[in-house]
Amino acid sequence: MEQSNESGTTSLVKPTDIRFEGEKFWVDLSDGRSLGVPLSWFPVLEAATPEQRQGFNLSTRGLHWEELDEDISIEGLLAGRGDMTNRRRRKVEAAE
């Protein structure tokens, strides 16, 4: 039986592939869905070279680029969240 989380996704959905097309990247999931994600959501990937973008690793929970120090969770993508690091940094800077 699959375990559901609060966003209605399941913990058993895993990435199976990534491809880059223009200003988007596509993540294929183990349940047959494909997610189209704007590169602008992830500035590190947007600024990366095509070769750096291809240096990804897939895990059961998400996507990782060692050279870029970038991690993206499948749960976050399914919830419609982009790069949360910059948002947290802006909140801290605004509070100072």
For β-strands 70-73 and 56-58, DSSP reports them as unpaired
Q: In what order do the strands lie in the sheet with 24-29?
A: 15-21, 24-29, 34-38
Predicted TM-score (pTM) of this structure:
0.76
The structural domains of the chain, with segments of one domain joined by +, span 15-95
- 40's CB contacts (< 8 A; 6+ apart) are 23, 46, 82
CATH superfamily of domain region 15-95: Uncharacterised protein PF10387, DUF2442 (3.30.2020.40)
For β-strands 24-29 and 15-21, DSSP reports them as antiparallel
pLDDT of residue 12: 85
- Residue 82 near residue 41 (C-beta atoms within 8 A): yes
pLDDT of residue 70: 95
pLDDT of residue 85: 73
47-56 per-position pLDDT tens digit: 999 999 999 9
pLDDT of residue 91: 44
* Amino acid of residue 30: S
Q: What is the mean pLDDT of each run of 10 residues along the chain (96 residues)?
A: 44 92 97 96 96 96 95 94 67 48
